[in-house]
Amino acid sequence: MGLFGGIGLGAVLLMLVWFVTRDAYDEAVAAPGGTVQVEEPADPVADPTGWNGKLLQSAVAIHSAARNSNTEILRRLLDGRIFWHAAEIVRAEEAGISPRSREVYAILPTGELTEVMQGMIASLKEGETGELIHEWEPYDGEVIELDSSSARVRLSLTPHAGGTERRFIDWKLNRDHMGDWRAYAWERWRSEKELAAIEKAAKPKGYEEVILSDGTEVIERQPEPLDHLSTTPPDMRDRIDRLFATLIDLDLTRESGAAKRELVEIGKPAVPILLTGLYNTPLDTEERRIQCNIMVVTLRSITAQFFGYAPQNRVGSGTGTSEEKRQSSIKQWFAWWYLNERVFEKKQLEDMLKNHIQLTEKDKAWLEKHKN
């Protein structure tokens, strides 16, 4: 037999490797500052804002528990205190009294606490959000807002029954003293594209092709008061309303010019209010005629459109103006807006300046006379 008796050569080599490895490990630990680096697998839950984090998964769990009617889990996932306090504020406002504070919730009678939670769970089934919670499956999400104690997350959903349609739901959550996230409010979220489609579908399709008495073929639509675009923020709506009031105030000549420039800069969101002003202002006085002309000038500066009639020209003035054209012009503005609102964007400056209507010398004289 060889040197190691019955021990095979392979076994000897394994033993040598083990001794060498152990000695190297001992030296690393024994040496000053010696450390052994141990790599640990990445924890997918470590990111609180990721799909597997507590925030998004808390909202996802509500969908699952609601669909399975698991009220016990829902009680742990919902924040009855904030839900109750929101209802308390509404109740107090209606009664004209001060609302009770959130802290009162902790000392409410057991029966009232149970009633609050039952009402909260029942509200998960109500309206279009109820359908999203019970009939749609979360597959992705993102954290929209986050601070130390509150968050808003948005879940992307597809139908349980199958299909490629996507919808979204926002959840507002509060972090409790144990570090768990509990939901207290929810609502469907719609993208700008979805809002635009809804707005377009809601519009009556009342436009038609018309041949005027002079043979001109035009597209008209019955005018009506228009609201602000659904995508226009509240502060911008207020600004547009203020600018429009200044625009048509003939006692504020300089301010009116500044208001016009601002409305042109705002562009598309200002168009519905200008059209509504045009619709609401009859041309029965000199003052109103000038106001309409200012509105048309502003609309043209924004859209680079013109529909064959300038309010500054009186009916029968020899410029081809007629009551028929005046009425048709307004209808053409509304038809154009209905057909182009979705795709219309602010025109280039050189386009906006083409065929620009200006006040006549008589209009300027009238303004000068009445500015004080």
- Beta strands 150-159 and 136-146: pairing type? antiparallel
Closest CA to 231 of 174, 203, 191: 191
6-45 pLDDT, tens digit per residue, is: 445 444 444 444 444 445 444 433 444 444 343 444 444 4
CA 137 vs CA 124, 237, 244, 291: distances in Å: 15, 36, 46, 54
Domain boundaries, the chain: 54-189, 198-370
Instruction: Enumerate residues 6+ apart whose C-beta is below 8 A from 330.
Output: 223, 278, 279
122-163 pLDDT, tens digit per residue, is: 999 999 999 999 999 999 999 999 999 999 999 999 999 888
Report the pLDDT value the prediction gives residue 196, as an integer from 0 to 100.
83
Joined together, the tokens standing for residue 249 give 């105030």
Report the pLDDT value the prediction gives residue 198, as an integer from 0 to 100.
81
Report the pLDDT value the prediction gives residue 208, as an integer from 0 to 100.
81
Report the pLDDT value the prediction gives residue 309, as an integer from 0 to 100.
64
Q: Which residue has the tokens 């547009």?
A: 240
Fold of domain 54-189: Nuclear Transport Factor 2; Chain: A, (3.10.450)
Q: Are residues 243 and 263 in contact, defined by beta-carbon separation less than 8 angstroms?
A: yes
Report the pLDDT value the prediction gives residue 20, as an integer from 0 to 100.
43
Is the torsion defined by CA of 332, 277, 202, 340 positive or negative? Answer: positive
- Helix H or strand E encompassing 183: strand 181-189
| Residue ranges in the chain whose pLDDT is less than 50 | 1-7, 9-22, 24-45, 316-320, 347-359, 370-372
CA 253 vs CA 76, 232, 256, 328: distances in Å: 63, 27, 5, 29
Q: Whole-angstrom Cα distance, residue 340 to residue 343?
A: 6
Instruction: Please count the other Cβ atoms lying within 10 Å of the Cβ belonging to residue 38.
Output: 5
Q: Whole-angstrom Cα distance, residue 360 to residue 313?
A: 9
Q: Whole-angstrom Cα distance, residue 60 to residue 136?
A: 11
Q: Whole-angstrom Cα distance, residue 198 to residue 188?
A: 14
Q: Are residues 226 and 263 in contact, defined by beta-carbon separation less than 8 angstroms?
A: no
Write a three-state SS string for 208-223. EEEECCCCCEEEEECC
Amino acid identity of 104? V
